[in-house]
Amino acid sequence: MNWLRHHRVWYNQRLPKAEPIERDRKTKILDAGDGVACRLCGRGTKRYPHETLDSSKPDATTIEHKLPEAAGGTTEDWNLAISCWICNTALGNMFGKLIGKYQRDIYQVPRKELEDFLRFHWYPKPSVNPILWKELEGEIARMEEEGKSDSQSLSTITVAEESRDLANSMFSENSDRRKEVKA
Protein backbone atom coordinates (compact mmCIF):
# COMPACT_ATOMS: atom_id res chain seq x y z
CA MET A 1 0.00 0.00 0.00
CA ASN A 2 1.33 3.37 -1.00
CA TRP A 3 0.39 5.44 2.03
CA LEU A 4 1.04 8.79 0.36
CA ARG A 5 -1.16 7.97 -2.63
CA HIS A 6 -3.81 6.73 -0.24
CA HIS A 7 -3.61 9.95 1.76
CA ARG A 8 -3.82 12.11 -1.37
CA VAL A 9 -6.96 10.33 -2.63
CA TRP A 10 -8.53 10.75 0.80
CA TYR A 11 -7.47 14.40 0.95
CA ASN A 12 -8.55 15.35 -2.58
CA GLN A 13 -11.94 13.67 -2.29
CA ARG A 14 -12.43 14.86 1.28
CA LEU A 15 -13.40 11.36 2.36
CA PRO A 16 -14.63 10.73 5.92
CA LYS A 17 -12.47 9.33 8.69
CA ALA A 18 -12.24 5.54 8.99
CA GLU A 19 -14.41 3.81 11.58
CA PRO A 20 -12.57 3.00 14.82
CA ILE A 21 -11.08 -0.48 15.23
CA GLU A 22 -13.68 -2.99 16.33
CA ARG A 23 -13.31 -3.83 20.02
CA ASP A 24 -12.53 -7.56 19.77
CA ARG A 25 -9.97 -7.00 17.05
CA LYS A 26 -8.35 -4.24 19.09
CA THR A 27 -8.06 -6.54 22.11
CA LYS A 28 -6.54 -9.27 19.94
CA ILE A 29 -3.95 -6.92 18.42
CA LEU A 30 -3.02 -5.51 21.84
CA ASP A 31 -2.74 -8.99 23.40
CA ALA A 32 -0.48 -10.10 20.55
CA GLY A 33 1.49 -6.85 20.96
CA ASP A 34 2.57 -7.59 24.53
CA GLY A 35 6.37 -7.53 24.54
CA VAL A 36 6.61 -6.31 20.94
CA ALA A 37 9.16 -3.52 20.39
CA CYS A 38 7.84 0.02 19.95
CA ARG A 39 8.27 1.08 16.35
CA LEU A 40 9.70 4.43 17.46
CA CYS A 41 11.97 3.88 20.46
CA GLY A 42 12.48 0.13 20.04
CA ARG A 43 11.79 -0.66 23.69
CA GLY A 44 9.64 -3.68 24.49
CA THR A 45 6.05 -2.65 25.20
CA LYS A 46 3.95 -4.10 27.97
CA ARG A 47 0.26 -4.93 27.84
CA TYR A 48 -1.88 -3.56 30.67
CA PRO A 49 -5.31 -5.08 30.06
CA HIS A 50 -8.34 -3.31 31.58
CA GLU A 51 -6.25 -0.38 32.79
CA THR A 52 -6.45 3.27 31.92
CA LEU A 53 -3.29 4.27 30.15
CA ASP A 54 -1.51 7.46 31.15
CA SER A 55 1.98 8.79 31.84
CA SER A 56 2.37 6.35 34.74
CA LYS A 57 2.55 3.54 32.14
CA PRO A 58 4.81 5.01 29.43
CA ASP A 59 5.72 1.55 28.12
CA ALA A 60 2.14 0.37 27.65
CA THR A 61 1.37 -1.46 24.39
CA THR A 62 -0.71 0.75 22.10
CA ILE A 63 -1.87 0.49 18.50
CA GLU A 64 -0.63 3.21 16.25
CA HIS A 65 -2.04 4.37 12.93
CA LYS A 66 1.09 4.89 10.84
CA LEU A 67 -0.90 7.23 8.64
CA PRO A 68 -3.05 9.08 11.21
CA GLU A 69 -6.79 8.56 11.00
CA ALA A 70 -7.18 12.34 10.76
CA ALA A 71 -5.14 12.23 7.53
CA GLY A 72 -7.03 9.36 5.93
CA GLY A 73 -5.37 6.46 7.74
CA THR A 74 -7.47 3.31 7.89
CA THR A 75 -7.64 0.47 10.40
CA GLU A 76 -6.44 -2.09 7.88
CA ASP A 77 -3.38 -4.11 8.86
CA TRP A 78 -1.04 -2.16 6.57
CA ASN A 79 -1.65 0.96 8.61
CA LEU A 80 -1.39 -0.45 12.12
CA ALA A 81 1.73 -0.88 14.23
CA ILE A 82 2.64 -1.38 17.87
CA SER A 83 4.18 1.49 19.76
CA CYS A 84 4.57 2.40 23.41
CA TRP A 85 2.12 4.79 25.04
CA ILE A 86 4.55 7.67 25.44
CA CYS A 87 5.84 7.59 21.83
CA ASN A 88 2.34 7.22 20.42
CA THR A 89 1.01 10.07 22.54
CA ALA A 90 4.00 12.33 21.81
CA LEU A 91 3.58 11.83 18.07
CA GLY A 92 -0.14 12.49 18.43
CA ASN A 93 0.58 15.69 20.36
CA MET A 94 2.89 16.83 17.55
CA PHE A 95 0.17 16.26 14.98
CA GLY A 96 -2.29 18.11 17.21
CA LYS A 97 0.08 21.07 17.42
CA LEU A 98 0.58 21.09 13.65
CA ILE A 99 -3.11 21.27 12.78
CA GLY A 100 -3.67 23.50 15.81
CA LYS A 101 -1.65 26.17 14.00
CA TYR A 102 -4.30 26.09 11.22
CA GLN A 103 -7.58 26.25 13.15
CA ARG A 104 -7.48 22.46 13.54
CA ASP A 105 -8.42 22.14 9.87
CA ILE A 106 -6.21 19.68 8.04
CA TYR A 107 -7.16 21.24 4.67
CA GLN A 108 -5.58 24.50 5.74
CA VAL A 109 -2.17 22.99 6.55
CA PRO A 110 0.21 23.77 3.65
CA ARG A 111 0.57 20.59 1.60
CA LYS A 112 4.34 20.38 1.95
CA GLU A 113 4.26 20.87 5.70
CA LEU A 114 1.50 18.28 6.03
CA GLU A 115 3.17 15.67 3.83
CA ASP A 116 6.56 16.20 5.48
CA PHE A 117 4.92 15.52 8.80
CA LEU A 118 3.02 12.49 7.50
CA ARG A 119 6.18 11.05 5.98
CA PHE A 120 7.83 11.29 9.40
CA HIS A 121 4.73 9.85 11.06
CA TRP A 122 4.96 6.89 8.71
CA TYR A 123 8.75 6.48 9.09
CA PRO A 124 9.62 8.05 12.45
CA LYS A 125 13.39 8.01 12.13
CA PRO A 126 16.05 10.69 12.62
CA SER A 127 17.28 10.14 9.06
CA VAL A 128 13.83 10.91 7.60
CA ASN A 129 13.44 14.24 9.36
CA PRO A 130 16.03 15.28 11.97
CA ILE A 131 14.05 18.40 12.93
CA LEU A 132 10.86 16.48 13.65
CA TRP A 133 12.86 13.75 15.41
CA LYS A 134 14.30 16.39 17.76
CA GLU A 135 10.84 17.75 18.34
CA LEU A 136 9.63 14.24 19.16
CA GLU A 137 12.45 13.70 21.64
CA GLY A 138 11.61 17.05 23.24
CA GLU A 139 7.95 16.14 23.50
CA ILE A 140 8.77 12.76 25.09
CA ALA A 141 11.13 14.42 27.59
CA ARG A 142 8.47 16.98 28.46
CA MET A 143 5.89 14.23 29.01
CA GLU A 144 8.30 12.17 31.13
CA GLU A 145 8.92 15.25 33.30
CA GLU A 146 5.19 15.81 33.62
CA GLY A 147 4.67 12.14 34.52
CA LYS A 148 7.29 12.42 37.24
CA SER A 149 5.72 15.51 38.80
CA ASP A 150 2.28 13.85 38.55
CA SER A 151 3.44 10.80 40.47
CA GLN A 152 5.26 13.03 42.96
CA SER A 153 2.14 15.02 43.75
CA LEU A 154 0.20 11.75 43.87
CA SER A 155 2.57 10.31 46.49
CA THR A 156 2.41 13.57 48.46
CA ILE A 157 -1.37 13.30 48.56
CA THR A 158 -1.14 9.66 49.68
CA VAL A 159 1.22 10.58 52.53
CA ALA A 160 -1.06 13.42 53.59
CA GLU A 161 -4.06 11.11 53.53
CA GLU A 162 -2.26 8.45 55.51
CA SER A 163 -1.22 10.87 58.24
CA ARG A 164 -4.74 12.26 58.37
CA ASP A 165 -6.13 8.74 58.69
CA LEU A 166 -3.66 8.06 61.46
CA ALA A 167 -4.70 11.25 63.24
CA ASN A 168 -8.35 10.35 62.83
CA SER A 169 -7.90 6.84 64.11
CA MET A 170 -6.53 8.26 67.34
CA PHE A 171 -9.94 9.74 67.98
CA SER A 172 -12.62 7.13 67.60
CA GLU A 173 -15.27 9.82 67.35
CA ASN A 174 -13.58 11.26 64.29
CA SER A 175 -13.09 7.94 62.63
CA ASP A 176 -16.75 7.07 63.16
CA ARG A 177 -17.80 10.34 61.62
CA ARG A 178 -15.48 9.63 58.73
CA LYS A 179 -17.23 6.30 58.13
CA GLU A 180 -20.57 8.07 58.09
CA VAL A 181 -19.35 10.55 55.52
CA LYS A 182 -18.01 7.74 53.35
CA ALA A 183 -21.26 5.81 53.58
Q: Which residues bind Zn ion (CB under 5 A)?
A: 38, 40-41, 84, 87
Smaller CB distance to Zn ion: residue 91 or 109? 91
- Cα distances from 140 to residues 8, 35, 105, 114, 148, in angstroms, run 29, 20, 25, 21, 12
Cβ distance to Zn ion smaller for residue 38 or 109? 38
**Judged by CB, which is closer to Zn ion: 45, or 114?**
45
Q: How far is the CB of 134 from Zn ion (least distance, A)?
A: 16
Q: Of the two residues 74 and 83, which places its CB atom closer to Zn ion in the complex?
A: 83
| φ, ψ for residue 83, nearest 5 deg | -140, 165
Nearest approach in angstroms of CB 38 to Zn ion is 3
Contact 38, 58 (CB under 8 A): no
Closer residue to Zn ion (CB): 41 or 98: 41
CB of residue 32 vs Zn ion: minimum separation in angstroms?
Answer: 17
CB of 174 to Zn ion, least distance (A): 47
Q: Which is nearer to Zn ion, 90 or 109 (CB)?
A: 90
Q: What is the DSSP string of the chain?
A: --HHHHHHHHHHHTPPPPPPPPHHHHHHHHHHHTTPBPTTT-PBPB--TT---STT-TTBEEEEESS-GGGT--SSGGGEEEEEHHHHHHHHHHHHHHHHTTTT-GGGS-HHHHHHHHHHHHS--TTT-HHHHHHHHHHHHHHHHHHHHHHHHHHHHHHHHHHHHHHHHHSHHHHHHHHHHH-
CB of 59 to Zn ion, least distance (A): 8
Least separation, in Å, of the C-beta of 36 and Zn ion? 11
